Amino acid sequence: MIYFTSDTHFGDPRVLRIDKRPFPNMDEHDAALIENWNDTVGPEDEVWHLGDFISARAGDCVELLSRLNGRKHLIVGNNDPPSTKNAAGWESVQHYAELRHERYHLILCHYAFRTWNQMGKKSINLHGHSHGRLRPLPRQYDVGVDAQGLRPVTVENLLRK
């Protein structure tokens, strides 16, 4: 399976205040996101994280990646420091990607697009950054944890909603 997620912001206390995530502290926040990830994603699954993975102050990115199931790819977000981008444990790191997944052409970026490649041919834009606050366009989905029940999601689940 291929999963998508974004804006986990591990170790970043701003998300408790700004995004009103339902946790009293970052330890509980991070533990819940790790548990949700591993309950959803199997060891052989693939995960595309569309940016804002972990705060630079949060600790060891490599150690955190080793605790999360799946083969992980990073699409760089505006809050991803060099220690995240350069961490061992990512299968790939880039700012933008296009994937063919089953019958879908997926356009991946941290940011939502107004238009995107092959939009007229029914390609799908997956993004993060907006924390569930942006009104989507047709075939555009926020895969961030705030919009997806604090866990990674498949394209099929997005399309069912």
Q: What is the pLDDT of residues 41-51, one digit of tens each?
A: 999 999 999 99
pLDDT confidence band for 25 (50 / 70 / 90): very high
Q: What is the mean pLDDT of the chain?
A: 96
- Mean predicted confidence (pLDDT) in 145-161: 95
pLDDT of 161 over the 90 cut: no
**All residues at 6 or more sequence positions from 23 whose CB lies less than 8 Å from its CB, including other chains:** 16, 29, 32
pLDDT confidence band for 11 (50 / 70 / 90): very high
> How far apart are the C-alpha atoms of 107 and 32, rounded to whole Å?
28
> How far apart are the C-alpha atoms of 110 and 138, rounded to whole Å?
18
pTM for the whole structure = 0.96
pLDDT of residue 8: 98
Return the residue matching tokens 């809050």: 79
**Residue 46 belongs to what H/E stretch?**
strand 46-49
Q: What is the pLDDT of residues 105-136, one digit of tens each?
A: 999 999 999 999 999 999 999 999 999 999 87
pLDDT of residue 5: 98
> Which domains are seen in the chain, by residue range?
2-160 (3.60.21.10)
Q: What is the pLDDT of residues 50-67, one digit of tens each?
A: 999 999 888 899 999 999
